[in-house]
Amino acid sequence: MQRILTIIGARPQFIKASVVSKAIQAQEGIEEILLHTGQHFDANMSDVFFDQLGIPRPDVQLDIHGGSHGAMTGRMLEQIEAVILSEKPDRVMVYGDTNSTLAGALAAAKLHVPVAHVEAGLRSFNMRMPEEVNRILTDQISDLLFCPTDTAVRNLAKEGFDDKPTQVLKVGDVMQDAALFFAQRAVRPADMPAELLATDEHGKAHAEGKEGASQANPFVLATLHRAENTDDPVRLAGIVEALNRIHQDVAPVLLPLHPRTRAAIARQGLELLTHTIDPVGYFEMIWLLNHCDLVMTDSGGVQKEAFFFGKACVTMRDQTEWVELVENGANELVGADTGRIEEAVRRHLGRRVKDDGELYGGGKASERIVEHLLQGVDA
């Protein structure tokens, strides 16, 4: 029986782990121990995912959050090391590019426990992003590198991984697995603004359908949370101005607003004119992605999710890890320039994009990951 210690701690990792955990449970000869670092500690940002996505409750809960990057990572490293020593896993598996990712990989490597990295090979080529540092270092100390795309495989080849004792494996993107699996369970956010809901001839909003989907009037879905935008007064002001202009002159903008972003906007004395709602769970986010006419975001995950649901995306960043979306025209990088953002939104509003199943694996990434885990490093 192979024992896998899976380490998660941030919102996107819950979603990714849910589909891989289901694939693990469907196989014999492999056992998963789930460790939640506590990096996202708000009940609306962590517990809801275990409830909604059907992930088993963590076997280990560290409750580590807050503080600087160094302090958080250091505390995680110490406590994850103790768990590895007590649980004695055959392999540690980490996801993405968070502090939880790096701490888990580093603790395992120091104890000579093999590491599998899901979403290996992604690069933004911006070393000012803490996520870039985390993902590069994690790749360097992993022996199974599960790449979501051809671009990720090429990135690792350029960094010399072909000559290292590692397995670089293109498996596809587990986020597509999750989107396809959970699409039928999407639900409309409870605080969805009434004016964005389609109404009948009597002015009543359409009721939810049997699959939790109801009609919506055209709107732009926006997310804004990345520190490079929220912590930079000039960038944040430019983005807020663009959101306001689009909301007033192009199409209504709906922004699920994280408390940290709300605080940054208030701190700068900016006025946000868009529709705002509280942060949403994954099923609510799927509903919004499925019903919007365009996505604006600075999130890595939301860029892909827009593509999974056939929506064009305007990305308010200067670089992206998902360069293949830019190359095929599904995504446009616009930085934080107000004019560029507004112009791109006008061009892409309502445009649909097609998925031929080649970019992200067609929803089979989780199965491929588990197959390789069962086969071991010689897969």
Domains present along the chain, CATH in parentheses = 2-172+364-375 (3.40.50.2000), 181-348 (3.40.50.2000)
| pLDDT at residue 206 in the model | 53
Q: Which residues are catalytic?
A: 225
Long-range (24+ apart) CB contacts under 8 A made by 330-338 are: 330/306, 331/303, 331/306, 331/307, 335/235, 336/229, 336/232, 336/234, 336/235, 336/236, 336/238, 336/239, 337/238, 338/238, 338/239, 338/241, 338/242, 338/245
| pLDDT at residue 378 in the model | 44
C-beta separation of 116 from 94 below 8 A: yes
User: 228, 310, 230, 291: which is closest to 265 by C-alpha?
Assistant: 230
Tokens at residue 192, please? 């969805």
C-beta separation of 206 from 199 below 8 A: yes
- Rounded to whole angstroms, the Cα distance separating 6 from 116 reads 9
DSSP 2-29: EEEEEEE-SHHHHHHHHHHHHHHHTSSS
Residue 112's identity, in one-letter code, is: H
Which residues touch 273 (CB under 8 Å, ≥6 apart)? 243, 244, 247, 248
- Rounded to whole angstroms, the Cα distance separating 92 from 184 reads 32
* DSSP type of residue 250: T
| pLDDT at residue 50 in the model | 67
The bridge status of strand 253-256 relative to strand 220-222 is parallel
320 class by beta-carbon count within 10 Å (0-12 exposed, 13-18 middle, 19+ buried)? buried
- Grouping H, G, I as helix, E, B as strand and the rest as coil, residue 96 is coil
* DSSP type of residue 293: S
Long-range (24+ apart) CB contacts under 8 A made by 346-349 are: 346/250, 348/294, 348/312, 348/313, 348/314, 349/220, 349/250, 349/251, 349/293, 349/294, 349/312
User: 135, 146, 141: which is closest to 17 by C-alpha?
Assistant: 146
Q: Residue 65 CA to chain centroid, in angstroms? A: 19
| pLDDT at residue 14 in the model | 85
pLDDT less than 50: residues of the chain: 207, 209-213, 377-379
